[in-house]
Every structure is written in C-alpha cells, then in structure tokens.
Structure 1
Amino acid sequence: PRNGQITIIPEGDNQFRYAKYSIDDTMKKGPILGVILKMEYPPILGPFQYHARKWSHYSHTVRDDGQTPADCVKAEFWSIYSVTEELEDEADRVFENYAHTQCKNMLYQARPAAVKYYYRNIIKSPKSDAFACAKLLTFQQYMLCMPDWFTKPARESICTFWCSDEFLKKRRIEQGSRKKNPNGAQNRGGSRPLEAKFGPEKATIINTYCCMKSGVKNCDSSGNAGPIPSEQAQQLVDDYNAALQEKYPDNWQEQPLDGQMAYDVGGGLSHGRLAIGDGAVKKGPIIDSAKASEIRPSTSRSYQNLFRRYEEEVQNNRRLTQQNAVLTRHVKRTDRLLERDTGDGSSHASAYLDNNSDGH
C-alpha cells in the first residue's frame, strides 16, 4: 500500500472495510487494534485508584509528553491505516465506537483467559472456553494468571473487581437474563473466519449473522449457515428475507443490508441495538426517519404476525358469540311457543270434559 498504510473506509456506526488492498490474516483491523489497546493500557487511574474499564478511561491520564493513552492508540492505529481526506471526520466518529467495542471485548476476555491460563499452566488440566466463562477464581488465583499488559496496580484492582459484589451481582443478572430467554442464541464466530475460509462473498452481514447463530463450524462446504437453534433468531432472518424479497423481487439476494428494514423487522432498537447488523449501518438516519414519520415499530414482524392472528381469533370468537346469542334467542322463543301451545291445549281439553259431563 501507498506510504506503507492500508486504506480503509468507515462503514456504519462502528466498522471499517478495506478499500482495495488484499490483506493477509496477520493484519486484520480488530486484532491490530486489540494489540495497540493492550500496549497502551493506562496505569491505575485517579485518586480512587481504579483500573481502566472502558475506552473512555484511556483519556483519563496524561503522560509526561502531554499525550493520553487514547492519543497514543489513535496515532498508532492511523500509522497503519489511512482514509481519504473527505472521510477523516467520519472515520474519527466511527473509530471512537470501534475502539469502545474492541476495548469492551478485550476486557471481557481477560477473565476467562486468566481462568484458562490457571488450569492449563498451574493445574495442568486445560479447560474449554465454556468452562472458563463459568468458573470463578479467588483473588490470589487471579493474581497468578494476569497478563503482562496489566500494570501491577491495575492487576490488583481488576482482580479485586472480579471478586467484588458489584461484579458478581451483575454477572448473576446477565446469567438470569439469558436463562429467561428460551430462544437465546450465542454468537459463535464472525465475519473474519468466514471471509478467510470462504471468501468475502460469504462474509455478508446476513450470512454472518446466520453463521454466528448456528456456529461457524456448522457451515456447509459452500459457507452457508447451518440450522439455527434459536427459533426467535430464525424467525427474524425469515422475516427480513421475506421483506427483502417483497421490496426487491428480482434481485433481493444481491442487496446490501437494508438498515431501515432491519429496524422495522426487528421492532426498532431493542436496548439501543439493531437485531441484525448493528454497527454496520448508521442508526442516526434511521432514527430520524422514524421520528419524522412518527412510526415507531414497537414489536417485531413475527410478533406483529402473532398479534394479527390473535385479532383474527378475537373476531372469530365475536362472530361465534353473536351466532350463539341468535341461537339462544331462537331456542328461548321456541320454548315459549311450546309452553303457550301446551297451556292452550290443556284449557280446551278441560272445557270439553266439562261440557260432556253436563250432557249425561
């Protein structure tokens, strides 16, 4: 690449894509930024002596050269990658969101990585990722396994945090939320392994979403997703594809992600996120459009379908109730006629008998 830099293009709210350069696996943007974030991880912060827990904390300290850790991260990243001049402001906006996501993922992975290190290198009994995510260690055990990119004061702070009531309570709440959702589907894999194995044409947002929900290991030989165990996720994909076919009947499979359609099908922004393709499209214009039209999809398309069936059942029940009322009135009227006829017949018979008795 020119000047030794790789040209990238900001995409959506927190993603970049390569402009032209064909790059190998060692230069992926996510891993590169992750390495830089670790290299520039801040020392212990502030008078309260806390560790950096999010990207914004990289701006809380100033070094002797007048630079914050955030400044150093940006300088290093943009020494590797570049954007055209007209996209610089947009790239800065997207980078902030991108760094926030990468920092969050990096710190989330630090605890399971420490657990795996403890069992692999100290206990000599390697464990799986699932085990590491579920397992809790003691403060002393965590301290034996912390990576070098944490400074010693930061290690003590984060190990204390992992053993704190605050962390454990948050963890229980998140676990409870997952258990309450019977259709919850974990994200397993992503676009990078898909692109590396099957090519960029299989790393589309929709196929990536399907493969993440089914598991990249379950893809077929062509890079298509396997069965999605979550009924909710599968219904979401089906609804999106149906809406896409309705809008683009001739070439719906060739369409890029339609952010407005993802917004409508997914029922808006649940927890501030699009159900499909969050980060790959700009949410600002979608929200502005919804406000301007005063249309706020409060439910997903699948829920709307369910609600429509419910309304049909209500109307059907109302019709049956009306028919039942008519039949009830008819039966009552028939009963009254029978009672009247029976009463008249008895009176005539009595009068006849009385007349005959007078003749004898």
Structure 2
Amino acid sequence: MTPTTEAELAEVIAAANAPLRIRGGGTRDIGAPVDGADLSTRGLTGVTLYEPGALTLVARAGTPLTEIEELLAGEGQRLAFEPGDLRALLGTKGRSTIGGVIATNASGPRRIQVGAARDFCLGVRFVDGQGQVLKNGGRVMKNVTGYDLVKLMTGSWGTLGVMTEVSLKVLAIPETEATLICDGQSGATAVVSMAAALGSPFDVTGAAQMNGQTMIRLEGLEQSVAYRAKALQDGVLQGFDIIDGDASAALWSDLRDLKPFAGKDGAVWRVSVKPSDGPALVRELAALSPDAIYDWGGGLIWLRVADEGDAGAHMIRNDLSHIGGHATLVRASAEARASVPVFHPEPASIAALTRGLRAKFDPRGILNPGLMGA
C-alpha cells in the first residue's frame, strides 16, 4: 500500500485490522522483523515550503532525501545533522526519504557540534494508530505544552504514528573544510586526542577514528579554518597532518555511511558510551575480535563482530551494564534480529512510559509491532 495523500493514509490505517509494516524508502532495515502488510510513505512527496532566508523547509515525508539535499545545495544550504546513507552497509536498495530520516533520528558525525536530527525538526504531521491526523510544532522553534510530539516522533521508528510532513531548520554550507589526521594511534590515544580537540576553543565539527586514522574536522571561512588548524597542530594535535577540500569531505562521507564495514561479513552494533570508557570496552570484547570505528569523540562506537549465535549481544550488553551505555544491533541475520532485542532493553520505569505512549497513540498495536521490542 502506497497512499499518495494524508487522507488516503488515514483511511488505510483506520480500516486496518491487522499489523502494518511501516516503511519510507526501505533503506534502513533495522529492528526486529515485523510481520505485517507493507505500508509505504513513498507516495507522499514534494517540498511544500522552502524559505532560504528563514532557514526553513517543509516537505512531505516520502520526499527523497537526495532531492532535498539538491534543493538546499542550490541555495548554499544543507541538513547540518548529516544523515547517512546505509544502503551499502545494510544491503538495501531504494531511496532514503526525509520521513525515514526523522523517524530514525538519523544523525552523522557533526552531531557532536550541531546536535541530532531531532534538534532540527521544527514540526511534524502524522497519522496515529487509529487513523487520526495529528500535528505539532511549526515553522519556528518554540516550546510546547503536553506531549512534545516532535521529539516523540523523531526516533520512534514508525511505532507511534506514520509521518506525513516534517518542518526542518537548515543551515548554510561553510566556505571550506579541513581534516587534521594522524595514523596509528591506539583507540585510547585517539580518544585523548579527540577530547583535547573538542575541549579547545577551535569549533571542531567532527572527531573520529576510522581505519586506524584519527580525524579532526574543521569547517568555516577559509582563513578561519587555516588559523584553527595551525593552532591545533601547534598545540594539542602535534604530529597531525592536514587534508582539505574534497579529500576531507570524502573521509567524512565514508564515516557517515560506514563504508569500511560495507561489503564485509558480520553483525554491526551501534554502541553509545562515555568516551573515556570506549577503548576499555573494546578491549574487554576481545573474544569477539571486534572491528571498531570511533565517532563523536569516542562516545559512539561502531562494532563489527561475527554474526553467529546472539551476535555478541550478551557479552556486549553485560559489559555495558557495568559502565553504562546502550547498544543497538544495526545489522545481523534475520534469525539474530528475531531472537535478540535489537534496541537496548529499557529500564523498567522507562519501559512503562514507552508502553503508555504506545497505548495512547497506537492502542490497537498495529504500527510496526515488535520492531523496537515489547
């Protein structure tokens, strides 16, 4: 089912008497398998408002992400939260949609400086599990009373409602970028370097380690970037080389899309921890022979492990129970995703709130049931 209007979508959901498998472009096949009839938002397309001077854009949920990025680029603007393209990693096809980006809170390396997708979402329209059309927010950032539906819908993975339209804040593309890079640092040393750069006054917009290279990104006016890069090289990042322009952009594009793990066997985990705990966690998981990529200054770790048994779930989450953090199984066999909680199990108090929200917005339990767990 691919409705082309919000009214059609509402009718489909209201008339449904069995579970629905909600999809945008189908590029982010993450979560427990859902047994239900396919319902796609791909037919809800088009940018309905774009005001470059006001840095705002409104688009229907099924609008392809590439179309939005091309439109913004024409005005020298972008989605600053840097959503990735995970098709190569997940082996999926299709075209990512803006609704899917917001529903999954897809946020890339720049999150450490500008925030996540939810921080740029000004408003949403969606259809709940009873077929009611709801809206919240608007074209300007403001406080709300009651449920903050914008925040609830961003990252809800289609379990609370099916988005039909999103309002977004956009930002200007900087004049240039450069990356300070160092080969061969251990994970622990890389985290120290990243922390030093992020703690400096030099406005770092990316801090990661990938393929054995520690990378620190700077963006802005050309003279400003050159000044900040030299200051870091003369200070906390001595021994780092510099690359700029397209070569720098390619590094961060590969990180954003997890290209080092694409085409390689194994399960892939997304682990959030306190940055200083990351290297020790990777060492404690030595029995899994993990391949690790550090992002967000070490606060986000992408792990590739053997896709066998529980895909390392027990060991990873047991270690996290001692240090704090959470782990999401991003890629694994269908068997593993069906038997292991894909999203990190919530504490009892939070789980109760989650159940209450789902009962409020989807009392029949028909929207992506089980995708995020019980």
Shorter-chain TM-score: which interval? under 0.3
TM-score, with normalisation over the residues of structure 2?
Answer: 0.26
Structure with the greater alpha carbon radius of gyration: 1
TM-score, with normalisation over the residues of structure 1?
Answer: 0.26
Q: Which has the higher strand share?
A: 2
Q: Which has the higher helix share?
A: 1
